[in-house]
Amino acid sequence: QSHDRSMYRVLILGLLAGLAAASTGTDDKCVCHMNIAPDRSRHHGLVDAAARRLLAVRGDSMEVRMNEGSKKLEKLSGSFDTLSGHHDKGEKMIKKLEARLSHLEGSDCPEGHFQCGGLNKQCITNLLVCDKHKDCANGADEDSHRCHPPAGTGSVWEAHLHGDEGCTQRRVTKIRLVITKETTLDFVPALTRVKASAIITHSEDGQHSTQIFNVDGVFRPALLEVEFFPPEDDQIGIKCTFDGVDNGHCVGTFTHGHGSCGHFTFSHVEH
């Protein structure tokens, strides 16, 4: 019985040795791992698909957040613009009130002179204002806002009158001024010569009529006023004064040899 067991072991070992020799032979067509590749490829495909779906979900979520952020930014920008607009209006109103107060207080300078402002109350002659040379210590005489004529070439200005207080021979109801040319005088750079067409509408005995005149005038930056000289024998001219803040309006009056009369407002007309 012991001999039989030994023979059985020898046969088993011989069979295993034969299988080992066959597996290490010269045949290159090994297929021992072929069943693994399809499973691995399938696994990778499932992982890639899941990753793509996850990225798509995250991309959609990010796009939604970006859109919401963009909308909030637009609202904040609109709110800022609104607040900025209110600030600009408030600042403009303060400047207008300061200009009115300054007009009421008057100037400590003699007639024909410009007050530079500031603490020292420096005065210079009007003809030195906007002559392209700084004469005021604070440079107020060459301020660009003052020196540029508000009634520029091509601008249109209109005033509606409710009564001219008997200043003219006919009752004027409407004045329209079209600025046609501006010329800086070389010998007096502080003055700008202005040419315009004046369309005058007047009423007489219930009838309305219109006349057109070519008028000459001058812009005086020291006084912030434009004056047009009389075009007719009645010697009535027009003067309009700006407040230095609102360049879209000016206060108009009729002028004559003895002073001025009437009171109306010219407004810049978009055309």
Residue 11 has pLDDT above 80, yes or no: no
* pLDDT in the model for residue 13: 53
Which of these three, 147, 162, 177, is where a domain ends?
147
Maximum average pLDDT range among 74-88, 126-140, 223-237: 126-140
> Domain for residue 51, yes or no?
no
> Domain for residue 132, yes or no?
yes
> Is the pLDDT higher at 265 or at 47?
265
> Are 201 and 229 in the same domain?
yes
> Are 130 and 216 in the same domain?
no
* pLDDT in the model for residue 44: 52
> Domain for residue 94, yes or no?
no
pLDDT-based confidence at 37, cuts 50/70/90? very low
Domain of 135 in residue numbering reads as: 108-147
Task: Name the least confident of 76-85, 144-153, 166-175, 205-214.
Answer: 76-85
Which of these three, 125, 147, 169, is where a domain ends?
147
Residue 28 has pLDDT above 50, yes or no: no
> Domain for residue 67, yes or no?
no
> Are 134 and 202 in the same domain?
no
> Is the pLDDT higher at 104 or at 74?
74
> Are 141 and 161 in the same domain?
no
On whether the CB atoms of residues 139 and 124 are closer than 8 A, the answer is: no
What SS3 state is found at 260?
strand
Task: Name the least confident of 165-174, 175-184, 242-251.
Answer: 165-174
Of the candidates 150, 200, 198, the one whose C-alpha atom is nearest the C-alpha of residue 178 is: 198
Task: Name the least confident of 24-28, 53-57, 92-96, 209-213.
Answer: 24-28
> Are 114 and 195 in the same domain?
no
CA atoms within 13 A of residue 124's CA, in its CB half-sphere: 20
What digits encode the pLDDT tens for the residues 155-168?
Answer: 999 999 876 555 77
> Domain for residue 223, yes or no?
yes
CA distances in angstroms from 180 to 174, 194, 196, listed in the order given: 19, 8, 5
> Domain for residue 219, yes or no?
yes
Q: What is the CATH number of the domain that holds 200?
A: 2.40.128.620
> Domain for residue 97, yes or no?
no
> Are 113 and 208 in the same domain?
no
pLDDT-based confidence at 33, cuts 50/70/90? very low
pTM of the model: 0.61
Backbone φ and ψ of 167, nearest 5° = -75, -30
> Are 155 and 228 in the same domain?
yes
On whether the CB atoms of residues 268 and 250 are closer than 8 A, the answer is: no
Mean pLDDT for 133-151 is: 90
Work out how many domains the chain is built from and give that number.
Answer: 2
Evaluated on CA atoms 245, 248, 251, 253, the torsion sign reads positive
**Distance separating alpha carbons of residues 83 and 81, to the nearest angstrom:** 6
What digits encode the pLDDT tens for the residues 181-237?
Answer: 999 888 888 899 999 999 999 887 778 899 999 999 999 999 999 999 998 776 889
* pLDDT in the model for residue 166: 59
> Domain for residue 98, yes or no?
no
> Are 249 and 163 in the same domain?
yes
* pLDDT in the model for residue 200: 92
Which of these three, 98, 117, 147, is where a domain ends?
147
Contacts of residue 101, Cβ cutoff 8 Å, sequence gap at least 6: none
Looking at the DSSP bridge assignments, the partners of residue 237 are: 255
> Mean pLDDT in the chain?
75
Q: What is the CATH number of the domain that holds 126?
A: 4.10.400.10
> Are 124 and 161 in the same domain?
no
**Distance separating alpha carbons of residues 158 and 268, to the nearest angstrom:** 7
* pLDDT in the model for residue 242: 94
> Are 112 and 211 in the same domain?
no
> Are 141 and 160 in the same domain?
no
> Are 182 and 253 in the same domain?
yes
Maximum average pLDDT range among 107-121, 158-172, 212-226, 251-265: 212-226
Name the strand (E) or helix (H) holding 170.
none
* pLDDT in the model for residue 74: 67
